[in-house]
């Protein structure tokens, strides 16, 4: 028996990998019919009853057999991962016993990284009904690090209607349909003050109109997660008042002392020439004059060097791999260089087992790391959420 189906970053592969991840549970239902049809057409002899045969153990789809982060065997709760990126929410949730039953991420390069680490291709554009139709019922937590778009009519007291045309509307629509026990959202700090507070007010009001109690807090990774990165984000946690009576038991994590420093995240043995700045750089004199300490991370700000006075890494951004603005820079014994993609993951708190596929460019790796979340902080909030919802189980 030979596998003819190529696991790629498209919705057919998403259907099949979601089915294989969930085939032993009721969460397989949305994927089952289409997955079996695809498998029959592309992979199997027509006479084989694939419903009764274990697919992966028979050597099919070997890329799904030994991923770094498999789902827990006996999950305590379930969740979905929207705007999944490279799965920072997923690692955090799985670490405390959760099983992901649906993921969505439109970026094909991020999908490749997601597949390499979790054995699952996320579905694509969540704004499409064809993508939403595969979301299972009865999952416990909705997770989403949704992009912040301007709400063109925010602040006109129209609640749910105010969010139309934004990606948050799609999150709200899924919440309205599926009624999960809890919702966990993460976004940039500026979401709270955007449009004089109207954007956040619209989001909060929409969630409350859907029957959820809303908690929110801005937290910095260097203050709350022992990660040496100056990264402030707003965290929004919601509980379904009809399903979670003890929602007032929820509290955000407390601050903790920053013990780690940048040296815990930097690999000084990395001698990749592409990372180092040499004489050919137009502003090398300014760079050498400004980057003078090995105990902090600098940024090149187009025309000058900016030092992080807190001796931590500045906020990682999605554009840091493209040169120019906001590039994180360090001084080593071998010269001045920018952070590697792996080091950027370290500053996001990703475990060492996390891998980037070999078939994506460094620019995509930087983008994925910069767009991601600080895993230990996400995990701390997740633990607080699940401690509440599991009391109702």
Domain positions in the chain are 1-66, 72-256+373-392, 268-339
State yes or no: is 49 an active-site residue: no
Catalytic position from the list 49, 100, 148, 382: 148
In the predicted model, what is the mean pLDDT of residues 124-152? Answer: 88
Q: What is the pLDDT of residues 174-194, one digit of tens each?
A: 999 999 999 999 998 888 888
In the predicted structure, residue 30 carries a pLDDT above the cut 80 = yes
Contacts with 382 (C-beta within 8 Å, 6 or more apart), sequence order: 89, 92, 93, 96, 98, 141, 184
Q: What is the pLDDT of residues 58-110, one digit of tens each?
A: 456 666 768 999 999 899 999 999 999 999 999 999 999 999 999 999 999 99
CA atoms within 13 A on the CB side of 54: 6
Averaged pLDDT score across all residues of the chain: 87
Distance of CA 137 to the CA centre of its chain: 22
Q: Which two tokens stand for residue 336?
A: 């001045």
Rounded to an integer, what distance in angstroms lies between the CA atom of residue 45 and that of residue 112? 28
Rounded to an integer, what distance in angstroms lies between the CA atom of residue 144 and that of residue 203? 13
Q: pLDDT at position 193, please?
A: 84
Task: Say which range, 86-90, 139-143, 325-329, 379-383, has the weakest mean pLDDT.
Answer: 325-329
Percent of the chain exceeding pLDDT 90 equals 66
State the Rg of the chain over Cα: 22
Rounded to an integer, what distance in angstroms lies between the CA atom of residue 43 and that of residue 6? 10
In the predicted structure, residue 46 carries a pLDDT above the cut 50 = no
Q: pLDDT at position 308, please?
A: 86
Count the Cβ atoms, other than its own, within 10 Å of residue 354: 20
Q: Which residues of 15-38 are buried (b: 16+ CB within 10 A; e: fewer)?
A: bbbbbbbbbeeebbebbbebbbeb
Q: What is the pLDDT of residues 259-311, one digit of tens each?
A: 999 999 999 999 999 999 888 877 888 889 999 999 999 988 777 888 888 99
Residue written as token pair 């416990």: 140
**Cβ proximity of 101 and 80 under 8 Å:** yes
In the predicted structure, residue 45 carries a pLDDT above the cut 70 = no
Integer CA distances (angstroms), 272 to 143, 163, 349, 359, 385, in order: 36, 46, 22, 18, 42
Beta pairing, strands 77-82 & 98-103: parallel
In the predicted structure, residue 37 carries a pLDDT above the cut 60 = yes
CATH of domain 72-256+373-392: 3.40.50.150
Single pTM value for the model = 0.91
Residue spans of beta strands (DSSP E) within the chain: 77-82, 98-103, 141-144, 182-188, 212-220, 232-240, 298-300, 305-307, 327-332, 335-338
Q: pLDDT at position 319, please?
A: 82
In the predicted structure, residue 3 carries a pLDDT above the cut 50 = no
Sign of the CA dihedral 206, 211, 212, 214?
positive
Q: How confident is the model at residue 258 (pLDDT cuts 50, 70, 90)?
A: very high
């Amino acid at each position: 028996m030979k596998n003819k189906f190529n696991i790629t970053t498209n919705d057919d592969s998403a259907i099949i990998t979601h089915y294989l991840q969930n085939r032993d549970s009721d969460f397989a239902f949305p994927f089952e019919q289409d997955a079996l049809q695809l498998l029959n057409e592309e992979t199997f002899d027509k006479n084989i009853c694939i419903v009764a045969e274990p697919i992966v153990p028979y050597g099919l789809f070997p890329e799904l057999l030994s991923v770094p982060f498999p789902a827990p065997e006996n999950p305590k709760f379930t969740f979905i991962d929207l705007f999944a990126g490279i799965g920072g929410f997923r690692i955090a949730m799985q670490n405390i016993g959760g099983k992901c039953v649906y993921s969505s991420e439109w970026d094909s390069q991020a999908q490749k990284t997601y597949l390499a680490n979790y054995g699952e291709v996320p579905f694509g554009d969540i704004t499409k009904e064809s993508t939403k139709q595969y979301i299972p019922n009865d999952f416990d937590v909705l997770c989403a690090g949704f992009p912040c778009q301007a709400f063109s009519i925010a602040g006109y007291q129209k609640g749910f209607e105010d969010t139309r045309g934004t990606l948050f509307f799609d999150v709200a629509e899924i919440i309205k349909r599926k009624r999960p026990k809890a919702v966990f959202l993460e976004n940039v700090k500026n979401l709270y003050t955007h449009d004089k507070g109207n954007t956040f007010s619209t989001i909060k009001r929409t969630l409350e109109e859907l029957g959820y109690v809303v908690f929110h807090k801005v937290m910095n990774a260097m203050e709350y997660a022992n990660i040496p990165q100056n990264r402030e984000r707003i965290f929004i946690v919601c509980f379904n008042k009809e399903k979670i009576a003890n929602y007032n038991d929820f509290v955000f994590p407390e601050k903790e002392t920053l013990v780690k420093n940048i040296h815990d995240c930097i690999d000084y043995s990395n001698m990749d020439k592409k990372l180092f700045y040499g004489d050919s750089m137009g502003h090398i004199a300014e760079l050498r004059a400004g980057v003078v300490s090995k105990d902090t991370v600098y940024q090149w700000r187009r025309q000058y060097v900016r030092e992080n006075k807190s001796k931590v890494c500045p906020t990682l951004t999605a554009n840091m791999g493209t040169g120019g603005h906001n590039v994180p820079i360090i001084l080593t014994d071998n010269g001045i260089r920018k952070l590697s993609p792996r080091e950027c993951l370290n500053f996001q708190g990703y475990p060492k087992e996390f891998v980037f596929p070999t078939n994506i460019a460094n620019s995509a790796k930087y983008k994925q790391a910069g767009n991601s979340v600080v895993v230990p902080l996400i995990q701390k909030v997740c633990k607080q959420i699940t401690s509440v919802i599991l009391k109702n189980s």
